[in-house]
Amino acid sequence: MTRIESVAVAAQSTFGRDGAMFESLLDFVAQLSVVLWILVTLTAVMRFVGIRIYRRSAARIARVETVAPAAPVSAAAVPTTTPEIDLVQPAAGQLTDGGLVRLGVFGSTAAEKDALLVPAEPVGGELSDVMTTDAVTNSTFGEVLQPAEAPAAGTASVKLPRHAPRNRRAEHRSAAHVPALAANSTEP
Amino acid sequence: MDIALVIFWLFAGVSILYVVHFGLYLVGANFYDIWQQRRKAMKRVRLPVEYEAECAATATWTRRALPEVPGLVSIVVAAHNEEPVIVRTLDSIRRSTYRTFEVFVADDASTDLTGRLVRDYQVRHPEMNLRIVRMRKNVGKGAALNSVLRRHARGQFVMTLDADSIIEPDAITNALSYFDDPYVAGVAANVQVLEETTVLGILQRFEHMIGYRSKKLYSLLNCEFVVGGVASTYRMRVLRKVGFYDTDTLTEDIGLSTKITSLGNRRFRMIYGADVVAKTEGVLTLRALAKQRYRWKYGSIQNLVKYRGMTFNPSRRYTGTLTYYRMPMALLSEFTLLVSPLAWTYAVYWSLVTRTPALILGAYATITAYTLLTVWMDENLTRRERVRLSVYAPTAYFLFYIMDLVQLTAAVRCIARSRGLFRRPEINTWKSPQRAASLVVVTRAA
């Protein structure tokens, strides 16, 4: 059987040099491997520690979120943009996180946030609660005075028609109308 | 010129590069896991800034296109003679926890019962928004997907799926959570090979696990451009912007992700979603594996050639990690694959001459430890699966030689047909490989 040492190599003169270089390469790769494995171990420890920290914080946030919706949100905390919206402030029960998400203002899912970026799709009736001020005047959005054009004076607490209806009997009046009517009476 | 010295330095350079690379994969994966947990723990809305550099983020919504339905996910399943597996795929979609989706089966002129099975499924599950779009002739996977996406899909997001793949129930929900970041163009899924007890099955499972783990580093460095077709999710606007799939390469899925990346990845980018789990079938025979890998390699090289302009591109549109690290490494890996037999011979020869088993043993120990770490740190494996795969891990080193051989053969075949790498045909048609489920059907029929 031919021994491996007797196999002729192409460059006999460089054999010793190449052998030494190969061994030095092995040494270097071994040292490099040790360094890298230490690095990997360190980052693995960091991984476990980091994951534990964020898991705990996630659990803490989840606990807070489960408690938070039960508490009513004060009306002062709700951002308002226009006088029209002030008039039809939704009830406190509607101002939970879920309600805001449905409006698409502070959406939590990608779809809701992306919907803000794409051209507006027709919005469902239950999503348009904040714009029901238009429904009172029964006019389109373009016909309603915009915030900049709106008069500075405050509106009356109860809106009265400028002209009396032709058939007064047909008009429904609640008990709330009585003091208002009295206040506007011309009789002494 | 001292040839021996050149070979030595080539060998040394490649060895050191790969040792460092392995280390980086593991370190990157650890940091990715921390980032992933942080993302889940601290959900925040990130709104886009006013100015956008030219990239996929400037995707426009055209009036001609069908309007997008916010929150709707269009799942497109490409199918060509997939009767053994199509029902299982549809079942997995139906079990999804995210309910706002529409499903299209792009039937690329199947000659088997695929179409009939899908129609039967429609009748049995009327609550599922399932439609089948049948091509009159075999047009190729990319063209079939394009046909559905251009004419029928209405979703804000698109998830593509192969007919031999299944998704986990929370895959769509998890995929959509990445789009909370408005600069995410697409999400690559974590594709695992379905449980197989054959040698090839275990080999493919290890290969997928290790390959997809490397994506964690690439995702972290924002240099990922290879997104497979299984359960990958994109924004529809981005797909419209880039004109959907190109049909001139064999791997249209990688072509799409590379095309999106070529628009610029500094801000808008691809993300790897480790929790978007999909499972696919491995191939059964060595011949089928060789055929599959040849197709993948040919397509990958076609895309590397097609988008070669990204390599060492100093443009501000691209991150340095993409142009100076990921792209050159992709090219280099093809080269090192070709010279791997030479390097292996060189290493064995000098190990014998110097009577040092250190290199062989070191390589074995490194690969085994790497495989074990990948198994243990995989967040989607059960304890039982971890134990089972850990038992197989010591064989991984030898199994990877089989894969190296298959890849080398594929690379040589690519060189033999190198003309098609540069002059690409317009349409590439496809044929499904033989799968485990098809054997089950044949056995039942018999």
pLDDT of residue B69: 85
Query: Which comes out higher in pLDDT, residue B311 or A101?
Result: B311
pLDDT at B276 over 90: yes
**Token pair of A73, please?**
């949100």
Q: What is the least distance, in Å, from the CA of A4 to any CA of chain B?
A: 7
Query: What percent of chain A shows pLDDT beyond 70?
Result: 27
Among B30, B42, B179, B187, the strongest candidate for a mutation testing the A interface, having the largest count of A CBs within 10 A, is: B30
**Token pair of A2, please?**
């031919």
Q: Is B16 close to A32, i.e. CB distance below 8 A?
A: yes
**Token pair of A57, please?**
């914080």
**Token pair of B8, please?**
């030595």
pLDDT at A4 over 80: no
pLDDT at A124 over 50: no
* Torsion-angle region of B390 (φ positive above 0: left; ψ -120 to 50: alpha; else: beta): alpha
Which chain B residues in 368-407 lie under 8 Å from chain A, judged by CB atoms?
A: 369, 373, 377
pLDDT of residue B311: 93
Cβ pair B146, B74 in contact under 8 A:
no
Cα–Cα distance for residue pair B340/B334, rounded to 1 Å: 10
pLDDT of residue B441: 45
pLDDT of residue B327: 93
Scanning every residue of chain B, which has its alpha carbon at the shortest distance from the alpha carbon of A56? Answer: B41
**Token pair of B334, please?**
């093809």
Residue A93: pLDDT band (50, 70, 90) is very low
Query: What percent of chain B shows pLDDT beyond 90?
Result: 42
DSSP state letters, B104-150: EEEE-S-SSSHHHHHHHHHHH-TTS-EEEEE-SS---HHHHHHHHHH
* Residues in chain B within 8 Å Cβ distance of A43: 26-27, 30-31
Distant-in-sequence, close-in-space partners of A100: CB < 8 Å, separation ≥ 6:
A106
**Token pair of B126, please?**
């009327």
pLDDT at A179 over 60: no
Residue B173: pLDDT band (50, 70, 90) is very high
Identify residue B78 by its one-letter amino acid code: A
Which chain B residues in 163-222 lie under 8 Å from chain A, judged by CB atoms?
A: 176-180, 182
Residue B428: pLDDT band (50, 70, 90) is low
Cα–Cα distance for residue pair B99/B105, rounded to 1 Å: 18
What predicted TM-score, i.e. pTM, was given to this entire model? 0.72
Q: What are phi and psi of B419, to 5 degrees?
A: -60, -40
Q: What is the least distance, in Å, from the CA of A5 to any CA of chain B?
A: 7
Adjacent-strand bridge partners of B184: B269
Cα–Cα distance for residue pair B133/B121, rounded to 1 Å: 14
Range B350-370 average pLDDT: 86
Cβ pair B281, B208 in contact under 8 A:
no
Distant-in-sequence, close-in-space partners of A43: CB < 8 Å, separation ≥ 6:
B26, B27, B30, B31
Which chain B residues in 276-335 lie under 8 Å from chain A, judged by CB atoms?
A: none
* Residues in chain A within 8 Å Cβ distance of B176: 109-111
Range B340-353 average pLDDT: 84
Most confident of the following: A22-36, A127-141, A164-178, B414-428: A22-36
**Token pair of B266, please?**
């500094």
CA distances from B141 to A122, B138, B246, B297, B399 (A): 35, 9, 10, 17, 31
Distant-in-sequence, close-in-space partners of B147: CB < 8 Å, separation ≥ 6:
B106, B133, B135, B139
Q: Is B352 close to A108, i.e. CB distance below 8 A?
A: no
pLDDT of residue B436: 56
Mean pLDDT of chain A: 57
Q: What are phi and psi of A3, to 5 degrees?
A: -80, 150
Query: Which comes out higher in pLDDT, residue A13 or B217?
Result: B217
**Token pair of B365, please?**
């120990």
Q: Is A108 close to B353, i.e. CB distance below 8 A?
A: no
Cβ pair B274, B429 in contact under 8 A:
no
Cβ pair B375, B392 in contact under 8 A:
no
Cα–Cα distance for residue pair B297/B60, rounded to 1 Å: 33
